[in-house]
Amino acid sequence: MKRTAITALLLISFNTMLYAQSKIKKYYNSNFENISEKEFNDFLSKDNYRYNGFELEDQVAHILYQPKTKGKLSVEELEELNKSLIKKGTVDNNLTIIIFYPGKDNCNGMERISTWTVFDHDYLRKIKKVNSTNNFWIYKSDENLKYYHPKKVDWKKDDDQIIEKLFFKMHYPCASSAVIDKDGNYILNLGEFGKQQIWADVRELTK
């Protein structure tokens, strides 16, 4: 009986793999526009490009992104962001820093207390010396969040998904960040990053 169950499980797994392999592979640039495989690989050969792979219902999607991304919010987008953040805390300084936890994935799935450098004692202390800041710790899913120092930082849920919509349009591995000045200029770290990247972004936006 046990052998029969194992055989059935293997058959299911094998059929699932065959189904995934039979799906069309599609390639997208960082604006989610469909491109050729050659264009995709040309982008990927550059230093500042990575990609996410997602198995969807009708395809396997390979989507490019730039880990360090810069831009500027429109007046309407900045107002929308501030309204969302006011529900979660105080927004009264020149610079806003958002640490965004998307939920459990292969990168942050380890069930142990995080040693991520943004939890180091000198992280916020050094930022405050650079400029007055609004600091927000935002999550999409709280799975595994208990390992990310909930007693040390005040995690808030992105209930209205405004932050996700403006900055984090897909699930980037580990976590991401956004540093935004009062005029809406922003710098993102999409995927794995540390306190040094935040410090550099703060310095760049407060020159």
pLDDT tens for each residue of the chain, 207 residues long: 444 544 444 444 444 444 445 789 999 999 999 999 999 999 999 878 999 999 988 899 999 999 999 999 999 999 999 999 999 988 888 899 999 999 999 888 888 899 999 999 898 788 777 767 899 999 999 999 999 999 889 999 999 999 999 999 999 999 999 999 999 999 999 998 999 999 999 999 988
Q: Are 172 and 52 in contact (CB under 8 A)?
A: yes
pTM of the model: 0.84
- Alpha carbon 12 to its chain centroid, in Å, reads 33
Q: What is the pLDDT of residue 21?
A: 58
- Domain residue spans of the chain: 2-65, 68-205
Q: Which of 62, 59, 51, 64 lies closest to 21 in space, CA to CA?
A: 59
Architecture of domain 68-205 in CATH? 3-Layer(aba) Sandwich (3.40)
Residue 163 is inside which H or E element, if any?
A: helix 162-167
How are beta strands 185-190 and 59-65 bridged, if at all?
unpaired
Question: In sequence order, what E strands does 50-184 have?
Answer: 50-55, 59-65, 68-72, 95-101, 133-139, 155-157, 176-181
Q: What is the pLDDT of residue 86?
A: 93
Q: What is the pLDDT of residue 57?
A: 87
Q: What is the pLDDT of residue 133?
A: 87
Q: What is the pLDDT of residue 126?
A: 83
Q: What are the residues whose beta carbons fall under 8 Å from the beta carbon of 104, sequence distance 6 or more?
A: 141, 143, 144
